[in-house]
Structure 1
Amino acid sequence: MIIVAFLTFLTTLSFSFLVFAVWKILSLGKKLDYAVLKMWSILPERIKIWTVRYLEIDFLKGAAQSFFFWFFTACVSIFFSLFLGWWLVSVIYFLFLLMLINKKRQLALKNNKAIVRQLPDFCDLISMMIASGIPLISALETVSTSCNDLLLAREIRSMLSRLRRGTSFAQSMDELSGRYDTKQLHEWSSMLIKGYQQGTSLTKSLRFYANQLRQDLLNSAEKRAQEAPVKLLFPLVTCFFPVNFLIILGPVIVQIGQGGLG
């Protein structure tokens, strides 16, 4: 039964690959893009934020098309598996989808932490560029180019590309901060928007915010270090101590059971 279910799973998966290949050959991507954008426009705002933030899907590129296509084919496969009574195949597909979603969510949480760690250095670099007389947009472009391997640099370059396409600076920064569930990035975005709109110097504000972020990271590290002994207590009590007691007292107990210590 397991072999049949596994073969059925591989068959339906191969069918999905075949449909995707035919779709590419027929060049029907534009219609799918239009359908995805139409569907995206009617979704509630909370679902949009969750999808972009935790599934790491960029709707400006082809990732949304690919995601919705595979999600749709997987749902169709699950439906037919349930209809034909192949419950095990449906469970495999469901677990596979949950695994993909969980993997994307873990990646999003990891990216949130990376953004917070990179933000203080970016604040210092941008403040130095502004202090030397470079405008904010040019400073962002220069810093993102010089730190091109970092996640925040890639996000800033994406924000600048949206800005060149005609999106306002405030909307571009809001889209950047909305992709991550971090309070620090939202505050940094609001600071840049306010400084850009009012034309005020951001040098002191960025330096102060960078020091504040570093202090918050230090406090967070100290808090985790203080919590480590408490977290280690449960595995020590349940795993380490019983084994040691068994090794130390085991022979004594066996000897007592066989006739005493003498």
Structure 2
Amino acid sequence: MTIFISLIISIAILLGLVSLAKIKSFVKKANREYMDPLPILLKLIWPVVTFLSHYFGDLLSVEYIEKSKISLRRSGLAYLVTAQQFFALRLISAVIFCGVSWGCFLMLDKGAGMIPLLFAIFGYFFPILNMSDRKKKIEKEIIRMLPVYLDFVTMAVEAGMNLNSALMQAVDKGPAGPLNIELQKVLRDIKAGSGKIEALKNMSDRLEIKEIRSLVTALSHAEKSGSSIGETLRIQSEQRRTERFQRAEKLAMQAPVKLVGPLVMFIFPTTFIILFFPIVTQMFALFQ
């Protein structure tokens, strides 16, 4: 009987492996020729990502896919994963969080209850939180570097270059970062046949940053009215630099307020303990 049961289990495992191999054979290999290279951790789970995106991607609604594409584009991940692959990552994240939490309770020899389910829900939304943080960092970096690039473009335009050549000079000479990548996309759109204002408007629609939208609106108005592009760029550069200085002043004024909490919670109690401990010990010694 033991041999018979072992044989059945072996056959079942073999059939399961054959079935998985057959199912995996239907999954098309993703073409990543024009995509960004995968990080090391993502490479480890990439076969599972492609498997889930292939079989669950068709179940996603068109609205969800479009919203995911917009979010991925704004967070700089559009050339790393697709909307279907991002959904697969959310499923994998939910399983990992659930498995890790259940394993921790198992090692502690305690009942987990509904806690692994809560961790699974958190894991399902964790990639979205990570993407939102990444988007905020990119927007902050773009706003910080915008005056620098405006200075490059302004100097090039005032030296006699047109706007296209000035953008190329800014991309070549400017510091690396998200704004450099976005300007490269603008130049690529211009080379593909789009007008320079249209390409800049596309960048504004991708980023949805107030400062970029103001810049594009000013350049579009100057283009239509025949005003000086150099003068418009210089005004925009000075305005962006003033706004950056005002943000720095605001953060500096907020620093003392933010320090109150750590001072009250950590530094003041420690200081009182150090100061009053000798006094308290001497008082105890006197009353004994």
Give the TM-score, by structure 1 length: 0.70
Equivalent of residue 259 in structure 2, options 232, 235, 243: 232
Q: How do 1:1-262 residues align onto structure 2 when only pairs under 5 Å count? A: 22=24, 26-27=28-29, 42=63, 49-53=70-74, 55-58=75-78, 61=79, 63-65=81-83, 67-68=85-86, 70-71=88-89, 73-74=91-92, 90-147=117-174, 149-260=176-287
**Contact 2:69–2:82 under 8 Å retained in 1:** no
Q: CA 1:23/1:69 → structure 2, altered by over 3 Å: closer, same or farther?
A: farther
How far is 1:244 from its partner?
1.0
CA distance in 2, matches of 1:138, 1:75: 45
Task: Quote the RMSD (CA, aligned, Å).
Answer: 4.1
How far is 1:167 from its partner?
4.2
Aligned pair count reads: 234
Tell me the alpha carbon deviations over residues 227-256 of structure 1, each in whole angstroms, 9 at most, x when there is no partner. 212221221122111111111112322332
Q: CA 1:209/1:72 → structure 2, altered by over 3 Å: closer, same or farther?
A: closer
| Aligned residue type for 1:68 | F
CA distance in 2, matches of 1:145, 1:118: 15
**Ranges in structure 1 where 5+ consecutive residues have no aligned partner:** 1-14
Q: CA 1:238/1:167 → structure 2, altered by over 3 Å: closer, same or farther?
A: same
How far is 1:111 from its partner?
1.4
CA distance in 2, matches of 1:148, 1:220: 21
| Aligned residue type for 2:86 | F
Give the TM-score, by structure 2 length: 0.64
| Aligned residue type for 2:191 | R
* Larger of the two Rg values belongs to structure: 2
SS of the residue corresponding to residue 82 of structure 2 reads helix
- The one of the two structures with greater contact order (alpha-carbon pairs below 8 A, sep at least 6) is 1
**Ranges in structure 2 where 5+ consecutive residues have no aligned partner:** 1-16, 33-52, 100-112
Tell me the alpha carbon deviations over residues 93-142 of structure 1, each in whole angstroms, 9 at most, x when there is no partner. 43334333222222221111211121112112112222222221222122
